[in-house]
Amino acid sequence: MNAAVAGKHTFGFSFARDLMIDGDYVAHLFAECINDGVAIAGNLTRIEVPDPIDPAAVPEPALATGLFLVGGLGLLKGRQKQTANA
């Protein structure tokens, strides 16, 4: 998408929003030759940051590990029976 700009090249950049302060701002962007500049005025509204996840609510992998061990032992015994019958 060219966003209705003239020319073959479009340049973009981004900033981490959580590193910026809230409120009004004026941003200046100058080309390499300093005689082509752009000023952008705007307002950054406050971002509500959710509370971190309760670590107690995150399940531990012990159940999955136990199931893998039981399944692995079952496979091992099944192979031992196959080799004994062969």
User: How many folded domains does the chain comprise?
Assistant: 1
pTM: 0.39
Dump pLDDT digits (tens) for 57-79.
Answer: 666 677 778 888 888 888 888 77
Alpha carbon distance 80, 86 (integer Å) = 10
pLDDT at 4: 64
Q: 């981004």: which residue's tokens?
A: 14
- The percent of residues in the chain predicted with pLDDT above 90, rounded, is 5
Q: Find out whether 41 and 26 touch, Cβ atoms under 8 Å.
A: yes
Query: Distance (Å, rounded) from C-alpha 58 to C-alpha 60?
Result: 7
- Check whether 1 has a pLDDT greater than 60: no
User: Residue 11: helix, strand or coil by DSSP?
Assistant: coil
Hunting for tokens 């966003």 — which residue is that? 3
What's the CA gap between 58 and 67, in Å, rounded? 18
Domain that holds residue 53: 1-86
Confidence of residue 47 (pLDDT cuts 50, 70, 90): confident
pLDDT at 24: 92
